[in-house]
A = this chain, B = another copy of it.
Amino acid sequence: MRRQITGFSNPTVKFLRSLRDKKHRKEAGKFLAEGLRLLTDARESGFVPEVLVMAERRDPHPLIDALERDVIAGGGEVIETSDDILAKITGKDNPQAVAGVFSEFNTKLSVIDRSSAKIWLVAQALRDPGNLGTMLRTGDAVGAGGLILIDDCADPFSVEAVRASMGAVFTQKVAQAKWDDFLPWLRAGEGQLVAASLRDAVPYRGAPYAAPCFVLVGNESRGLPEDYELACDLRVTMPMRGRADSLNAAVAGAVLAYEVLAALD
């Protein structure tokens, strides 16, 4: 059954809109994902939204029908509303025809089964949600197991991160930990920690990568703290032929992850 919502001040609209805000996401333990492609990726990965919001004026699509069926079968709620209200919920002028609400995933380190993948991505103090989502997307592409967020990172459940992940937020494990908890966890099992670094580093091509390989990138402006770099098992350096001494964090992680993939394949 579909519920029609026509008023901006409807409490459900207010709730959905509040999920753009981190504080409210954490209170509710919910997040928002938009677009048929993303919601279909989620569904095919086994995640059906608890609330499905659809634009009244949408083009019919069999994947929307499939989504609606699954939401209802799962005991979820289906809401139809205007483009204007959908725009208000998603914060986009031209909103997608559908959006869905999901429960945030458990992000404790214990969700990481290191033996399940050869590559894991690790980001320290990554502040840009777009970079974070891009790293999830890259992780999916290289067959990584997931992304471990160290210290104070952007929220992986923000609309921007979910959007940039292109669905990988539903396929990659995500863990959040302080460095002082991550390092003992890492050292309690197998795992090689690798960072791109200018300090006492070997060329990134042909470096002795070993699985499970944890590829660590640092904060967008400050890079990695020195003691974090020194705690790594392997420091590698990428050619820097121009004026700059660093790459975009998500780019550095991707170039390195593809190199690790080629080495471990």
In the assembled complex, the Cα of A261 lies from the Cα of B247 at a distance in Å of 15
By the criterion CB–CB under 8 Å, are A141 and B239 in contact? yes
What's the least CB distance linking A247 to chain B, in Å? 6
Nearest-CB residue, chain B, relative to A170: B243
By the criterion CB–CB under 8 Å, are B239 and A261 in contact? yes
Chain A contacts with B in 126-178, Cβ cutoff 8 A? 130, 134, 137-143, 164, 166-168, 171
Asked if A250 is an interface residue, CB under 8 A from chain B, the answer is: yes
In the assembled complex, the Cα of A217 lies from the Cα of B171 at a distance in Å of 25
By the criterion CB–CB under 8 Å, are A141 and B254 in contact? no
Interface size class of A (residues with CB under 8 A): 35 or more
Using A130-B130, A251-B251 as known contacts, say yes or no to A240 and B141 having CB atoms under 8 A apart.
yes
What's the least CB distance linking A263 to chain B, in Å? 11
Chain B residues with CB under 8 Å of A246's CB are 166
Chain B residues with CB under 8 Å of A45's CB are 243
